[in-house]
Every structure is written in structure tokens, then in C-alpha cells.
Amino acid sequence: MLKMKTTSLLLFLSLTLIIFYSSCSKDNNLEIPDPELENLEIKDITSEASTLFSNENPDGPNGPEGSKKLTDGDTTTKFLVKDFKSLNIDFQFDTAKLVASYEFTTGNDFDGRDPMDWKFYGSKDGQNWKELDNHVGMQFRKRRKTYQFFFKNNEKFTHYRWAISKLYNDNMFQASEFRLIQMPPSSQKDDPIQKVDSLTKNNVSLVFINHSGKLDLPYQERLTNTYFTVYPKLIADFNPNAKKKIYFIIDPTYDGVAYAFGDVVVFGFDYMEKNPKDGDVVVHETMHHIQQGYKGNVPGWLVEGIADNVRYHYGIDEPDPWTLQDYKPEHNYDGSYGITGRFLLWIETHKNKNFVKELNNALYNGVDYNDFFVQKLGNSIQIIWNEYAKNPTI
């Protein structure tokens, strides 16, 4: 009788443990480690793969900037592709491998040639692909620097693909090196969260990319609203041919305020965290996208001065934490930003209310700004500045 009770009790406990383990596995996503995968060492396995490129350098794979330079183990060489539309780089192994990380090294010169948007895939037959990782709105400020990317993967594949769909701001792609890293599941990790939101209205589109790892940004709505309110007006008033789709990138690695480049505006995460009510920074930066068609002699101080002048007219912040700079004796017309912007406002107030719009059009047509001042105002920019300095009241 005791033996039967003992047997029944053991059976009950065994069943209870099975149910408990199954429940915990389901609820907590626990998985029994695969000994075969866990025994894999962390190592670079790039040299074990053959490679296939959808586009090649004009001099061929063995050329000075041919595809073989991408995996030669030398970060001082580079692979260059001209006339970029898209680029697939495939790696094929004789036996299935477990890849959970890859490394990319930037080229030696123009950062506009860096990849901006890409996906990374695995395949067991080279035909059917599984997405393992993707990145949007990436930017790399340092040359010949290696960046490593991580993702979770518990499947071995014989084929891997780096599929690049967009560059930062050029029609040529370059990279110094690309490496595939084998990694057992217990050593794998995810990259910081990347949040991407896309929206189209008022005939323009915005892709808002948050690289900060902070999911809720108190200023995202403000920046977005300013873009959709103001940017269509800037297009209508200054350049109907300007880009209709812009990327906003919140970047924790950038220590400045913001900058515009290609079809991107990058905002410094630290700056926006400290200045969450500065939505009109969007006006200044998107005006730079409007200005991209300027020709001829257009100095940077004038570009920035026009952008600040436009921010003054089109900004919607109430109250605006920013203002044009009042005149000081040590100022000059080429002081840039708020100094030049206020000078242009003075001209609009006292001489020609459409001056900045007409100047903008002239710069598109390649007219020298010095000549434009003489044509429109009858004197050189220095003489006009001297008038402003004597009576700078707006």
C-alpha cells in the first residue's frame, strides 16, 4: 500500500514539474540551449565564404577599388561602386554558419558615400531570404572607423546578404571593410532600439528616426508639426523643385544643435533634450534643403543668414526661444546666422520687402550676390551695410 502511494506521489510530482516547466517556458520565453550552437566560438568567419556582388567597380574585382578590397582584411583599402541604385553583397558558405553580428568600416573620404539604409538577410538555399537585421537613417562621421552591429539569431544559414538600398548623399557607394562574426546564442545581443515613424501630408513626407534608445521624445510632435506646417510654404515660396521627402534623425552621437545634408536633418539628442520647445530649428534646417540648388559664388555666411532670416518670418514657436542678433559695432555683413539674417531683415524693412525672395531666386540662377546687391539696391553690399550700421533700427 505504501509502495503504491509512493509511486503515485512520484508520478504526480513529475507531472507537476513538467507542467510547471512548460508553463515557465511559455510565459518567460525560456528555451533549452542547443549544445551544438553554444559550443561555437566567437570568431570572424568572413574568409570562409565566397562572395557575389550585384554591382562591381569599373576596374573589376581585382582593381584598386574592386570588390575584393571589401574583405581583404585591410581597412586602408576600399570597395567603390559608381552609379549606385542599390547593392546586394552575398556571402556563401560550404556549410551552414551561425552569424549574429557584422562589422562595417567606413571609407577614407566623402561620407556621402556611406550606406544609410540597409537590411541583412540569411538564407538556406540562396533563394528564400529571412530578414535578420535592418537599419534606417544611419550616419557615420569618422573615416576608416569600424562599426559593429548585433542581432539575435539561432538559425544557421549557408547564405548571408547585405542589401543596401540608400546612401547618405551621393551616387557612389564605398566601404573599406565588411566582416561576418559567428556567435553562440548566449553571447548574442540586440543593438539599441531604433524607432522609425513615417508620415505624409500636405504633399510632403517625413521619416522620423530616433536613434537615442529613448522611446518617447517630448519634442517629436513639435518638430513634426513644424515640418508639415512650414516646409510646404517654403517650397511654394522659394523652390517648387525642392525635395518632398525628408529624414529627421535624432542622434545621440552628435554634440551640436542640428545640420542638414542631402535629404537628411540630424538633430543633436542632447540639445533637443535641453531645448524641447525649439521647434523652429526645423525652419532653419529645412530651408537648407530649399537652398540646395544655388549656383555660383554663394558663401556659407550668406546661406546661413538667409536661413535665419526665413526662420524669423516663418517660425511658429510661441514664444520663440531664439531671436536674430541686434546690431553691434563689431558685427559685419558676413557675420552669418542671426547677424546676416537681421541685416537682410533691415533691407526688407527699409528698401525692398521682397529682397530675400528675389536674392534666393537670383542665387538659383547663378547671379553673383555682389552683383545682385548693386542691381537691386544701387550699391555694393559693403555700402548697404554701412547704411545699416548708422541706423540699424528695424
pLDDT at 192: 82
Parallel, antiparallel or unpaired: strands 79-81 and 204-210: unpaired
Rounded mean pLDDT for each run of 10 residues along the chain, 394 residues in total: 44 42 45 84 98 98 98 98 98 98 97 97 98 94 96 97 96 98 96 90 97 93 98 98 97 95 96 97 98 93 98 94 94 98 98 98 96 97 98 96
pLDDT at 141: 87
> Which grid coordinates are listed for 312?
524669423
Per the DSSP assignment, residues forming a β-bridge with 48 are: none
How far apart are alpha carbons 310 and 306 in whole angstroms?
Answer: 6
Q: Give the E-state strand segments of 286-386 in sequence order.
A: none
Domain 43-187 has CATH 2.60.120.260: yes
- Is the whole-model pTM more than 0.95? no
> Which grid coordinates are listed for 383?
555700402
Neighbours of 334 (CB within 10 A): 16
Cβ atoms of 78 and 107 within 8 Å: the answer is yes
Instruction: Decide: residue 222, CB within 10 A, 0-12 exposed, 13-18 middle, 19+ buried.
Output: buried
Residues whose CB is less than 8 angstroms from the CB of residue 265 and which lie 6 or more positions away in sequence, other chains included: 246, 247, 248, 249, 258, 259, 282, 285, 286, 289
How far apart are alpha carbons 289 and 263 in whole angstroms?
Answer: 7
How far apart are alpha carbons 4 and 2 in whole angstroms?
Answer: 5
- What are the Cα distances from residue 322, in Å, to 177, 280, 287, 308? 44, 8, 16, 10
Q: Give the E-state strand segments of the chain in sequence order.
A: 43-44, 50-53, 79-81, 87-97, 99-105, 115-123, 129-135, 146-150, 157-167, 173-175, 177-182, 195-201, 204-210, 245-251, 258-261, 264-268
Domain assignments of the chain as residue spans, ordered by start: 43-187, 192-293, 295-394
- What are the Cα distances from residue 197, in Å, to 30, 163, 225, 244? 32, 21, 14, 16
Compute CA 223 distance to the chain's CA centroid, rounded to the nearest angstrom: 16
Architecture of domain 192-293: Orthogonal Bundle (1.10)
> Which grid coordinates are listed for 208?
522620423
pLDDT at 313: 98
Cβ atoms of 266 and 304 within 8 Å: the answer is no
Would you list the DSSP string of 196-234?
A: EEEEEETTEEEEEEE-SS-S--TTHHHHHHHHHHHHHHH
pLDDT at 32: 67
